[in-house]
Structure 1
């Protein structure tokens, strides 16, 4: 029942958004070639489906996203658990992290393209950077906030490293880590598109640039709509995975 209600909210919200878009189209003085209606964008969407460009673009983007985001999360969580367990070491590392963290991933794009050229790798690197710092710093924070009671109980049972890390520290810190991983997914998906607009010859980001160059605003808006829907689906899936893991570990009933 809850899933049905949630789906209802999603459908109604999207319909309201489309309604606002249609109203703006009616009230706008712009040519339909520059600002198409929702119907024109949907027709362009079916056109991309029929000629295969949409499936190819989604496949290319998801390939880059899964590799970049997956490697980033695994690396950030692993390093975060280690640095969180070594607070004296983290004091020396933290200033450098705080220096690099505010730099937008797209600021690295010219340098990344010079190093790796055009293709999959620049977009993967940008995704990696976008997700890395939030997950790393949240993991360190989560480890530092673990109640000392967990460590006292572990000591009483004779649990030592590396079992302490995987049986006590990681499960105790997981709720905050999961939240960071969830939030980082949105950032990674955003910067995937940005990376593909500069450093790729395929994918949804490239599709936007190609539509702009060919003055196909209908395809451009249809691609933007697809990007949003995929982002919504990814957010739902990672939220579902998070809930299942928390339930398995007794964090949610």
Structure 2
């Protein structure tokens, strides 16, 4: 019982202290409740958004965009990373272009994405794809290059096909590093979708925050921020659990 309670104790203390500090700041900051609402008003606003379905609707819209953009990045980024990590000629041709585009902030693409795709889900998905694609390519390339060359020599001696090299050596060897990259990248994608929704769409948590600010509902603004943080924490937890499953532990021990 003690082992179960111990991991929950410190977060509970931190959460309680944060609420207390928040309430004290709201009472003594000199700002009105409309400008800096306390936790009670924010939680009442949260209940209103949950009860009328607005919070669920906006959260689902944001999650859909993150999922679509993130999986597109996985679909294209990881295979390209394998190609660059395994075949030097491909890296010589493509790596300079990737390194040129990678530092450009996804938010810098907002004007072009709106011009190309209009208003709606497409520009947001495109921005999330860009935010996720380049980190995945770079991480996958590095993971493949770090695999012990002895494994490839053994595969050549046993006449492995290219498919067998990928499925039996490259994927198990790169998987721990790639999953760590996915954990970091999904957080980046979640940050980008909120910014994109403030400009290019009419739904989502980013839009909820912007629209609430325009309506001077700072309690709704904070509600949106709380849900963003909670979903981000949940996504990080899921990716952390994926890094700890037995098959990944086996790959970490034997895939390199």
Residue 241 (1) aligns with residue 242 (2): yes
Instruction: Find the residue that maps to 1:33 and give its secondary structure.
Output: coil
Stretches of structure 1 that go unaligned for 5 or more consecutive residues are none
Partner of 1:28: 29
Residue in structure 1 matched with residue 96 of structure 2 by the alignment = 95
Aligned residue pairs, count:
252
Alignment of 1:47-58 (within 5 A): 47-58=48-59
Q: Secondary structure at the match of 2:55?
A: helix
Cα distance change, pair 12–75 in 1 and its aligned pair in 2 (3 A): farther
The 1:248/1:7 distance shift into structure 2, 3 A limit, reads: farther
| CA 153–12 in structure 1, closer or farther in 2 if over 3 Å, else same | farther
In structure 2, the residue matched to 1:163 is 164
Which residue does the alignment assign to 1:16? 17
Shift of 1:188: 0.3
Measure, in 1, the Cα distance between the counterparts of 2:38 and 2:224: 14
Equivalent residue runs for 1:167-186 within 5 Å: 167-186=168-187
Partner of 1:200: 201
Superimposed CA distance per residue, residues 142-192 of structure 1 (whole angstroms, 9 cap, x where no aligned partner): 111111121122223321202101110111011111111110011000001
Deviations 1:12-47 (A, max 9, x none): 333333233223223311111011111111110001
Q: 1:39 to 1:129 in 2, by over 3 A?
A: same
SS of the aligned residue for 1:201 comes to coil
Q: CA RMSD in A?
A: 1.8
Question: Cα distance 1:15–1:142, how it changes in 2: closer, same or farther (>3 A)?
Answer: same
What's the TM-score, normalizing by structure 2? 0.92
Residue in 1 aligned with 2:221? 220
Task: Indicate the larger mover: 184-193 or 11-20.
Answer: 11-20
